Structure 1
Amino acid sequence: MTLLSVNDVLNVKKPADRVHMSMSSDGKWLAFCIDGKSESRSFGVSLAVEGNTQWVCNLETGESFPIAIQANSSWGGVWSPNGETLAFFADIHGEAQLWIWTPSDCSLKLGSEIVVRPFFGFEKPIWTNDGLHIIVKSLPSQEVDDNHFSSSIPSIDAVFKNCNSKPQYYTTSKNTKDEANVSNTSWVNRYRADISLINISTGKDKTLCNGFKPAGLAISNDGKYLAFTNCTGEERINTQQNIFKLWVVTLEPNIVTKVTKIEKKVRMDYGLSFSWGLDNKTILYTTSGPLSEGGLWSVNIQYPNSAKLDFSPDGNQIRREFDGPIPLKNGEIVMIVNGSLCVYSPSRSIEKMITLDGREIVAVFPITNQSDEYVIVQTVEKCNAIYGFYCIDYETDESDKIFEEPNAHLPWFEGGSLYQKSRSHECISFFSQSANEPPILKTIDVKSKLIIVESVLNEVNKNQLGISQLIKWEKGDVTLRGALLLPKNIKGKVPVIIRVYGGSMQSNNVRYYGLSPSSADNHQLFATRGYAVFLPDLPMLRSIEPAEEISMAIENALNELVKHPQIDSERIGIIGHSFGGYSALVAITRSPRFKAAVISAGIGNLISYYTKFDPPNFNYGWVEDGQVNLGATLWEDKERYIRNSPIFDFHNIQVPVLIVQGTQDHISNEEAGPIFSSLNRLGKTAELVFYDEDHYQGSWKEENLKDYYKRVLGWFNKYL
């Protein structure tokens, strides 16, 4: 069998994380963004988009190509209303700026001299309705702190080393139970930016507002207003509930710009789940987060601070992170609730749920033609991992399948698909991939239901790659699954590596190339070397005893895995990253079934992590109410902290442990040393490797990622 190399997986072209597609109004061009890495930093380029590359596809020929090869990072392409030019961000001159690409002559033009400062990939340029101006997030005139914005996040030690011996002062005056401490170095400052209006013909810019931390931006249908959410941080220090304020800016050319606060406290995750009503006076939004009720709200911009809860579904919560409610021409509102399409009538205060037999609705495409009486949705049939697109008539509740296949499709808001309808076309463009097929770009005609364009972005020999399948088991009245990747041409039983992450439904990755949306975690690297890889569902019910929940969930998954006729139950390895590293540590302290373990950026001691001094990113909320969810302070129940900290059970470990840690990792950089020191004192077999890198391998330099996989594969080769 030919071995897949790290270079092979790093060079795979995959859609960039949460960078939306855009199609020209004539249906001839598709803009999309490819994930990547950059070896150098540019001013205004955030860690969320660094290394991305803006591409376009000619939908008549299927040819795809990048449009800014001079840039280290380019992203966010959006077509003008007339479809003649594409606006996007790029660092061609060493800093993030707005650029314009024209397909008629493939020319590039700098849109403005100002430095733009979006953080996430979905913070794209916004064209005004007349196509004459573009709205962007831009660099403030005041000095900004790049902590949590760039890819190089200094540790507290680095902060002290650079303070020129000046005293560093901190106070607990704001750290009460009911008020979070949002300082000048808080993570929310990654959103700090002005909002600017750029004249495309002259390149001149006008500041619409400053002094904010804008997240989501949306222009009203009539083009007269811009709504945006302003991030103010976490609601309380013991929770991870994010709070936003909702503001509106006037855009009418003959009216003095006015910025109005519409609502002072909106609970959301990313500040995105809002939209304009068709009356251009109402803003609709749904709430999300641990303290939210997960309902539908509305507020009239003429009556600020008068938001009302319109709808809260019985026994469910809407809680959408990346998409807002969609207003319909008949006055109703459509959104997704628990995998069903919910159609809510504000005038009658009633709702109806539209379901698809055996399928979960994962996304509703934004409506591109208000005269229609239907919406296009993305679906997944989870039992067999079948992905597709359906048309649903929201008046009659009738549905019609457009297309389905046993390949994974990312939702539109994650940058994996797009629907558009105009007079000349109605089509869906989407990335399609499977465990042994890297992403391919397809376009389907909605009416004929035929694939009309395919653009092959990657060439790969499928014959060398492993094949995936689903394993299912019952836990009470719930069916759980695991994604299993098996080597090609198996002879006898093979060793298996189980990747764990408490609370994650990892089986959803069964149709992704290498069982992962990320190239850094492509499990074909193991499969082509004779290993099976298993990614089980490990649900958590917030029981305030996470270690017990995780260990029991892993044990149940293992019991089902070892029934497989091609799995060697005597050669099981385990790997976990971040909270997955914590999960793997829990597993090896409580089960003797493993023969080798790799802990990447793991957490072993919840007490030290909880009290870690890393201003202002105190970890209280993550431990008390977040992923760990111990539900109490250390002083209220110290025994619970001890029970759920694997380090206190390290004497039970019987497996060799490889520990991997990035020194620039502000999340868990102080955990790896004590994990290794403890194992060393106990006489356990362990190795510790430090890399001058950030938290996740997806952002690492190529040489370090190659060394990482050499060590990981060597570890499993030695002990499995």
Structure 2
Amino acid sequence: MVKRDYKRWILVGLYLGFAFSLNAQETTLFNSQKEKIWKKIAPYFSPPQEFKDKQDSLRPLNIFYNGDSVSTVQDFSKRQLEIKKRWDSLMGNWPALLKKQQLSIIDTNEKESYFECEVKFYWTPTEETTGYLLVPKTKGKKPAVITVFYEPETAIGKGKPNRDFALQLTKRGFITLSIGTSATSERKEFSLFYPNIKHAQVQPLSMLAYAAANAYYALANFPEVSSDKIGIMGHSFGGKWAMFASCLFDRFACAVWSDPGILFQHDRESINYWEPWYLGYHPKPWRKRGLISKENPAFGLYPWLIKNGYNLHELHALMVPRPFLVLGGAEDPPDRWHTLNRIIALNHRFGYDNRVAMHNRPTHEPNNEANEIAYLFFEYFLK
């Protein structure tokens, strides 16, 4: 009996030793892969020398609205809450979030390495939307990314080139949910208007963020999704959407904003936060689309924000310490580091480094190089 027990424990010891050895090998491989990814994306977490330590002259982030200084981590948490409450009150408070809903699958197409599912869910209390859920044919829990645009087809590979973000991320092992404002985009209204377009109570861009938050819960409730590893990505209109969603809803673990115009700017027609489908809502008839002028002024909240010194860097502060990447193009050139340096300084002050990155390209259109940095960014922070 003793000998049998002895032999059994020898076998158990050998098995455990083998298991620990495998685990060590897996850990070493994981760390090696992560190190390789970091070497590729690390340069984008530091500004070029010409922009290093330079900051813009916008309202300070480390001072409360009443003038008191932010000194501790607890103070900064209160400052973030203050910013969130102020912007919510200005843009309109959200309806209750729809936390318990499930994605309803309409149709499924099997591809070589993933499943493409057409799905629907409620993104406002009164309105369902349809989108696409792409699920890799791998076992176990997976990280996920929500992609946002004018319509959901482009991100799954059925639109312009270099905008198939959901498809490419799924091929890298992510579950993705692609959503878009198809119906309102066809009507040139683009956004979401709650409770209706005649009497919107929430600025439309904030309402898009609310819809993305509901998409988060619908996706997080999907059995194969790791709910603490969900990011969001969008380009242009989708970049604005992804930025507001990730800043206003802190359950997104990280975010990529592709050339949205990360600050208000009046001489760029594409940085058009003044339009009635973003932050300048007013009842129809709407202003003529285009730059602000005496003949074609902005209405609603936007001119009030400008007059009172508000800008989007305050929303960026809500990301601390969550990581984000700006894929800058024509609308977000390298001198945007002047603003991003503020967020870097805040992160560093409270013990966080390598949380803010920017890649720059000359044109507004996404390209392979920028997209590769985005995909590696998600692999590093979500996988």
Query: TM-score if structure 2 supplies the norm length?
Result: 0.54
Aligned-residue identity in percent: 19
Contact 2:146-2:178 at 8 Å conserved across structures: yes
Shift, 1:623, TM fit: 1.6
Shift, 1:709, TM fit: 3.0
Contact 2:133-2:176 at 8 Å conserved across structures: yes
Find the partner of 2:113 among 447, 460, 464. 464
Shift, 1:521, TM fit: 2.0
Shift, 1:480, TM fit: 1.9
Find the partner of 1:687 among 333, 353, 357. 357
Query: In structure 2, what is the Cα distance between the partners aligned to 1:581 and 1:657?
Result: 12
| Cα displacement string for residues 511-547 of structure 1 (whole angstroms, at most 9, x for unaligned residues) | x783431231223321121101111345512536134
Find the partner of 1:656 among 293, 300, 323. 323
| Cα displacement string for residues 600-633 of structure 1 (whole angstroms, at most 9, x for unaligned residues) | 1022323xx13x3x6xx5967x624455434445
SS at match of 1:571: strand
Q: Which amino acid aligns with 1:524?
A: L
Shift, 1:682, TM fit: 2.1
Match of 1:67 in 2: none
Within a 5 Å distance, the mapping from 1:484-499 to structure 2 comes to 484-487=133-136, 489-499=137-147
Which residues of structure 1 form unaligned runs of 5+?
1-382, 386-405, 407-434, 437-461
Contact 2:229-2:253 at 8 Å conserved across structures: yes
Find the partner of 1:586 among 227, 238, 244. 244
Shift, 1:651, TM fit: 2.2
Match of 2:10 in 1: none
SS at match of 1:463: coil
Shift, 1:549, TM fit: 1.0
Match of 1:647 in 2: 313
Query: In structure 1, what is the Cα distance between the partners aligned to 2:228 and 2:301?
Result: 42
Match of 1:712 in 2: 374
Q: Which amino acid aligns with 1:696?
A: E
Match of 2:174 in 1: 531
Is the counterpart of residue 570 in structure 1 residue 228 in structure 2?
Answer: yes
Match of 2:70 in 1: none
Shift, 1:571, TM fit: 0.6
Contact 2:142-2:175 at 8 Å conserved across structures: yes
Q: Which amino acid aligns with 1:656?
A: P
Q: Which amino acid aligns with 2:167?
A: Q
SS at match of 1:519: coil
Which stretch shifts more, 648-657 or 470-479?
A: 470-479
Match of 1:557 in 2: 215
Contact 1:603-1:672 at 8 Å conserved across structures: no
Match of 1:623 in 2: 274
Query: In structure 2, what is the Cα distance between the partners aligned to 1:540 and 1:476?
Result: 12
Name the CA shift for 1:576/1:531 in 2 (closer, same or farther; >3 Å): same
Name the CA shift for 1:709/1:629 in 2 (closer, same or farther; >3 Å): same
Match of 1:157 in 2: none
Query: In structure 1, what is the Cα distance between the partners aligned to 2:309 and 2:206?
Result: 9
Query: In structure 2, what is the Cα distance between the partners aligned to 1:635 and 1:554?
Result: 22
Query: In structure 2, what is the Cα distance between the partners aligned to 1:686 and 1:519?
Result: 27
Name the CA shift for 1:673/1:619 in 2 (closer, same or farther; >3 Å): same
Shift, 1:465, TM fit: 4.5
Contact 1:465-1:524 at 8 Å conserved across structures: no
Find the partner of 1:514 among 150, 156, 166. 156
Contact 1:585-1:646 at 8 Å conserved across structures: no
Contact 1:596-1:715 at 8 Å conserved across structures: no
Shift, 1:681, TM fit: 3.0
Query: In structure 1, what is the Cα distance between the partners aligned to 2:301 and 2:223?
Result: 49
Query: In structure 1, what is the Cα distance between the partners aligned to 2:123 and 2:240?
Result: 25
Contact 1:466-1:524 at 8 Å conserved across structures: no
Shift, 1:593, TM fit: 1.0
Shift, 1:599, TM fit: 1.3
Contact 2:106-2:117 at 8 Å conserved across structures: no
SS at match of 1:521: coil
Aligned pair count? 240
Query: In structure 2, what is the Cα distance between the partners aligned to 1:643 and 1:535?
Result: 35
| Cα displacement string for residues 488-528 of structure 1 (whole angstroms, at most 9, x for unaligned residues) | x2311111011124xx443xx2xx78343123122332112
Query: In structure 2, what is the Cα distance between the partners aligned to 1:537 and 1:645?
Result: 26
Which residues of structure 2 form unaligned runs of 5+?
1-104, 182-190, 283-297
Query: In structure 2, what is the Cα distance between the partners aligned to 1:671 and 1:587?
Result: 24
Name the CA shift for 1:470/1:674 in 2 (closer, same or farther; >3 Å): farther
| Cα displacement string for residues 634-679 of structure 1 (whole angstroms, at most 9, x for unaligned residues) | 99852488798532122221311111112xx2x4447843442332
Name the CA shift for 1:479/1:524 in 2 (closer, same or farther; >3 Å): closer
Name the CA shift for 1:513/1:660 in 2 (closer, same or farther; >3 Å): closer
Name the CA shift for 1:547/1:524 in 2 (closer, same or farther; >3 Å): closer
Match of 1:678 in 2: 342
Query: In structure 1, what is the Cα distance between the partners aligned to 2:310 and 2:281?
Result: 9
Query: In structure 2, what is the Cα distance between the partners aligned to 1:552 and 1:481?
Result: 16
Which of 1 and 2 has higher RCO (CA within 8 Å, sep 6+)? 2
Match of 1:638 in 2: 304
| Cα displacement string for residues 187-239 of structure 1 (whole angstroms, at most 9, x for unaligned residues) | xxxxxxxxxxxxxxxxxxxxxxxxxxxxxxxxxxxxxxxxxxxxxxxxxxxxx
Question: Higher helix proportion, which one?
Answer: 2
Shift, 1:596, TM fit: 1.9
Q: Which amino acid aligns with 2:374?
A: V
| Cα displacement string for residues 34-79 of structure 1 (whole angstroms, at most 9, x for unaligned residues) | xxxxxxxxxxxxxxxxxxxxxxxxxxxxxxxxxxxxxxxxxxxxxx
Contact 2:326-2:358 at 8 Å conserved across structures: yes
Q: Which amino acid aligns with 1:463?
A: E
Name the CA shift for 1:528/1:594 in 2 (closer, same or farther; >3 Å): same
Query: In structure 2, what is the Cα distance between the partners aligned to 1:676 and 1:636?
Result: 22
Query: In structure 2, what is the Cα distance between the partners aligned to 1:496 and 1:624?
Result: 31
Query: In structure 2, what is the Cα distance between the partners aligned to 1:552 and 1:466?
Result: 27
Query: In structure 2, what is the Cα distance between the partners aligned to 1:525 and 1:599?
Result: 16
Contact 1:486-1:533 at 8 Å conserved across structures: yes
SS at match of 2:327: strand
Match of 1:598 in 2: 256
Contact 1:601-1:672 at 8 Å conserved across structures: no
SS at match of 1:475: coil
